[in-house]
Amino acid sequence: MRTDSPIQFSIVVPFLNEQENIPPLYMKLTEVMDGIGEPYELVFVDDGSKDNT
């Protein structure tokens, strides 16, 4: 959701070798957060994965 309103929710998700899990998690998070209708940001953090995370 893009908006000029201040961010109401920040969701930080750490990943380590989770290549296969990112797309379904992203889809579910955006579905739920878009349903809430408030501005949000998703921050995905990767630190040293050996796959394509």
pTM for the model stands at 0.82
The DSSP secondary structure of 21-42, one letter per residue, reads GHHHHHHHHHHHHHHHTS-EEE
pLDDT (tens digit, 9 = 90+) per residue, 1-53? 556 789 999 999 999 999 999 999 999 999 999 999 999 999 999 989 999 98
pLDDT at 13: 97
Q: Which two tokens stand for residue 53?
A: 């995370």
pLDDT at 3: 60
Q: Which two tokens stand for residue 22?
A: 């990112």
Is residue 42 helix, strand or coil?
A: strand
pLDDT at 4: 76
Nearest CA to 15 among 50, 41, 52, 47? 47
CA–CA distance, 10 with 32 (Å, rounded to integer): 13
How many residues are recorded in the chain?
A: 53
